Amino acid sequence: MEVKRHFSWRSLVTIAALCLFHVTAGETTLGQTPQMGWNSWNTFKAIINESVIHETARLFGTLGLQKAGYNYVVIDDGWANHSRTADGYLQANVTGFPSGIKALADKVHAQGLKLGIYSDSGILTCDFKPGSWGYEERDAQTFASWGVDYLKYDNCGGFEGMTEASQVRFGTMKNALELSGRKIFYSVCEWGFQFPWRWGGGIGHSYRISGDITASFTNETGCACKTAYCLNTGYAGCSVLTIINKMREISQYGVQGHWLDMDMLEIGVANMTLYQQQTHFTFWSALKSPLIIGADLSRLSNESLAILTNKNIIALNQDSLGKPVSYVETLSEDGLWQVWAGNIESGYVVLLLNEKSYPQTISLQLSNLGLGTPRKIVELWSEKTLKTNAFNGTLQPYQTLVFKIDTA
Ligand SMILES: *[C@@H]1O[C@H](CO)[C@@H](O)[C@H](O)[C@H]1NC(C)=O
Ligand SMILES: *[C@@H]1O[C@H](CO)[C@@H](O)[C@H](O)[C@H]1NC(C)=O
Ligand SMILES: *[C@@H]1O[C@H](CO)[C@@H](O)[C@H](O)[C@H]1NC(C)=O
Ligand SMILES: *[C@@H]1O[C@H](CO)[C@@H](O)[C@H](O)[C@H]1NC(C)=O
Ligand SMILES: *[C@@H]1O[C@H](CO)[C@@H](O)[C@H](O)[C@H]1NC(C)=O
Ligand SMILES: *[C@@H]1O[C@H](CO)[C@@H](O)[C@H](O)[C@H]1NC(C)=O
Ligand SMILES: *[C@@H]1O[C@H](CO)[C@@H](O)[C@H](O)[C@H]1NC(C)=O
């Protein structure tokens, strides 16, 4: 047993070394900022077809999402036929995708957008379609030949797949994508098993840190794991607030090019208040999570659209430093309000979250955080400039204020 373990650590080192080689060789510039786009799962689950993708791509333009920076249209689970071709290739379900994935990619590309697709590191996907376990190179080549730009790679797939370490299963597809001859963004989705922030940076451009998000701001009924290091991670879903809380332990592991993925957005999906939606978008942005919309764009409210296209908050996500904010324990009041802070290119940013279902009056000193000397302070949602280096005011239930502090 011990010997085996040593061997797998050695192959891990090899994977890490390969990764370093590719970065230094300048072969990949993908993922220099967190990816922005849309994914079918949060609304459509596995019942998906090409007209939904066409319509979504069209709405990227008409709703101003493309202009705001969203460019990946990602098809999640449910696109494939239940069996491979007689030759062993993946094929689309012809009922849902009669034109095929290549034609769909061409159409999406013609609009200046990119197409993402989904597969799984096991024998089967979560929707019991063929997984890529044992077919990694072939499937990566198939995706490349179709003109696919992005792969979300999942963690379902039955006993056989799960007996191989995550590092091996997800690393094999990383290598296959690199051999495919096409630049394909690699979105690792292994639900936070075995603490991927310890190793995920060597494999994916982004990697999920927990099980699926639920369409709720606080409901924890189905959430077995409320902390990042809980052993029972996996599929069980947690709310927006719990996923934010998990990041308190691990935000420091996020590095440019290998983003911690807090999962797809529930803005416009869940029944959330304006302030809950703002808080959701603020934390995903400031923690440098991918911004992948999960809503049905044809039914998006103006309120949700305005949040998803807020220039100030998106700029925080796409900031050139690529540094996630961290939890500031000394300024927070556990269970009542949270303060997070971190550097951005123009200075630093401070987040103040009212974690309660009632309003709270909070005062907060915004200088002396060791992040620079304030020259100008603007609250990004209201765009109001503060006259002093301190804030004293009332936050509504679950509201987050975002102070952008320019330094000299
Ligand atoms: C595609 O899916 C959407 C959403 O589920 C549905 O409304 C529509 O009827 C489907 N279109 C076809 C052609 O199946
Ligand atoms: C699925 O694939 C089989 C075998 O290739 C084919 O006969 C069938 O028509 C396909 N069905 C759909 C819905 O794509
Ligand atoms: C193909 O997709 C349709 C819905 O679009 C579904 O009813 C059918 O079961 C799927 N067929 C296969 C073979 O996956
Ligand atoms: C909370 O989530 C569970 C499922 O995880 C659901 O059954 C329940 O209805 C939800 N409660 C509320 C108040 O939304
Ligand atoms: C949404 O939540 C509000 C309270 O936050 C509630 O009054 C309303 O009924 C909910 N709507 C739906 C459709 O669940
Ligand atoms: C949403 O915004 C559009 C475009 O600005 C406008 O035409 C429409 O009336 C708005 N809808 C609502 C419900 O306010
Ligand atoms: C904050 O403002 C409230 C009134 O809105 C006042 O009662 C309180 O003393 C102020 N706190 C600080 C620290 O200035």
Residue 306 and residue 332 in contact, taking contact as beta carbons nearer than 8 Å:
no
Concatenate the DSSP letters of all residues of 297-357 into one string: GGG--HHHHHHHT-HHHHHHHT-TT----EE-GGG-BTTTEEEEEEEETTEEEEEEEE-SS
Phi-psi region of 208 (alpha: psi -120 to 50; beta: other; left: phi over 0): beta
Q: Is the CB of 389 under 6 A from ligand 4?
A: no
Name the residue among 299, 228, 305, 237 with its Cα closest to residue 260.
228
Tell me what the mean pLDDT of segment 91-106 comes to.
Answer: 98
Residue 22 domain flag: no
Residue 21 domain flag: no
Q: Assess whether 56 and 161 both reside in one domain.
A: yes
Q: Read off the DSSP letter of residue 111.
A: T
Indicate the number of domains in the chain.
2
Q: Assess whether 75 and 91 both reside in one domain.
A: yes
Residue 10 domain flag: no
Which of helix, strand or coil describes residue 52? helix
Domain boundary among 295, 318, 341: 318
Q: What is the average pLDDT score of the chain?
A: 92
What amino acid occupies position 196? P
Q: Is the CB of 49 under 6 A from ligand 3?
A: yes
Tell me what the mean pLDDT of segment 139-150 comes to.
Answer: 98
User: How many angstroms does the Cα of residue 337 sit away from the middle of ligand 6?
Assistant: 34
Residue 3 domain flag: no
Sequence-distant (6+) residues with CB within 8 A of 27 are: 178
In terms of residue numbers, what domain contains 358? 326-406
Q: Which helix (H) or strand (E) holds 376?
A: strand 374-379
Residue 4 has pLDDT above 50, yes or no: no
Name the active-site residue from 120, 127, 139, 212. 212
Residue 261 and residue 289 in contact, taking contact as beta carbons nearer than 8 Å:
yes
Tell me what the mean pLDDT of segment 285-298 comes to.
Answer: 98
Q: Assess whether 286 and 363 both reside in one domain.
A: no
Residue 336 domain flag: yes
Cα 116 from Cα 35, distance rounded (Å): 11
Q: Assess whether 120 and 248 both reside in one domain.
A: yes
The CATH number that applies at residue 354 is 2.60.40.1180
Cα 59 from Cα 42, distance rounded (Å): 17
Quote the pLDDT of residue 263. 98
Q: Assess whether 45 and 67 both reside in one domain.
A: yes
Residue 20 domain flag: no
Tell me whether residue 296 is one of the annotated catalytic residues: no
Share of the chain above pLDDT 90, in %: 85
Quote the pLDDT of residue 7. 39
Residue 256 has pLDDT above 90, yes or no: yes
From the CA of 82, the nearest ligand is: 3
Residue 393 and residue 361 in contact, taking contact as beta carbons nearer than 8 Å:
yes
From the CA of 302, the nearest ligand is: 6
Quote the pLDDT of residue 172. 97
Task: Encode 206-240: b = buried (16+ Cβ within 10 Å), e = exposed.
Answer: bbbbbbbbbbbbebeeebebeebeeeebbeebbbb
Name the active-site residue from 76, 77, 139, 154. 154
pLDDT in tens, 313-357: 999 999 999 999 999 999 999 999 999 999 999 999 999 999 999
Q: Assess whether 179 and 140 both reside in one domain.
A: yes
Cα 250 from Cα 247, distance rounded (Å): 5
pLDDT in tens, 45-95: 999 999 999 999 999 999 999 999 999 999 999 999 999 999 999 999 999
Domain boundary among 263, 289, 318: 318
Residue 15 domain flag: no
Q: Assess whether 140 and 248 both reside in one domain.
A: yes
| Ligand 2 binding pocket mutation candidate from 50, 94, 95 (most atoms within 8 A of CB) | 94
Q: Assess whether 213 and 311 both reside in one domain.
A: yes
The CATH number that applies at residue 297 is 3.20.20.70
Q: Assess whether 265 and 376 both reside in one domain.
A: no
Q: Assess whether 390 and 287 both reside in one domain.
A: no
Residue 17 domain flag: no
Residue 207 has pLDDT above 80, yes or no: yes
Tell me what the mean pLDDT of segment 386-399 comes to.
Answer: 98
Domain boundary among 283, 299, 318: 318
Q: Assess whether 254 and 379 both reside in one domain.
A: no
From the CA of 297, the nearest ligand is: 1
Cα torsion through 233, 236, 237, 241, rounded to 10: -40
Quote the pLDDT of residue 32. 97
Concatenate the DSSP letters of all residues of 120-147 into one string: ESSSB-TTSSB--TT-HHHHHHHHHHHT
Q: Assess whether 130 and 185 both reside in one domain.
A: yes
Q: Read off the DSSP letter of residue 273.
A: -
Q: Read off the DSSP letter of residue 89.
A: -
Query: What does pTM read for this prediction?
Result: 0.92
Tell me whether residue 261 is one of the annotated catalytic residues: no
Which of helix, strand or coil describes residue 87? coil
